Amino acid sequence: MTLHTPSTDAPLARRLLQLGIALFLLGLLTGFLLPMMANPRVGLSSHLEGVLNGMFLLALGLMWPQLSLGTGARKAAFGFAVYGTYANWLATLLAGFWGAGGRMMPIAAGGHAGTAAQEGLIAFALISLSLSMLVVGALALWGLRSAPARRNTDAPAAGPQPAA
């Protein structure tokens, strides 16, 4: 497992924060689009998914330096988190505009159904993002099992030093 330092964690953590606030804002803006949608009920889901998934990315970005994961697991967690959160917002947004989603979201769709291609795309997105977010949750939980590994920089520790 590659060891991480604050300088190697900072770019991905900052990117998660940027992507999180961007998705949060997209979710807020989605609320203004509800009257233009074929199915505003699913559009409301998109609004909520954007806001809540944006907050999830913000929380993940804040906890990122605390995760004790190797480089590959960190890249996987980052990629799956970004894909899962943005795909969730986009799939429900498209379903709202198309008046689709009845196959995978029958309660939210309220009897609306799209074309076979639209329903297939929404189904693919919802299934793949669900699996992605399960991986993210498992990796985050696993990464919090112990203190993050850090390189010894041979720098003196802060605070009082024990007498020799």
**What's the confidence (pLDDT) of residue 151?**
46
**What's the confidence (pLDDT) of residue 32?**
98
Q: How far apart are the C-alpha atoms of 116 and 114, rounded to whole Å?
A: 7
**What's the confidence (pLDDT) of residue 106?**
74
Domain spans of the chain?
8-143
Positions of the chain with pLDDT lower than 50, given as ranges: 151-153
Q: What is the DSSP string of 110-143?
A: TT----HHHHHHHHHHHHHHHHHHHHHHHHHHHH
> pTM score, two decimals?
0.83
Taking residue 122's Cβ as centre, other Cβ atoms within 10 Å add up to 25
Q: How far apart are the C-alpha atoms of 102 and 7, rounded to whole Å?
A: 46
**What's the confidence (pLDDT) of residue 115?**
85
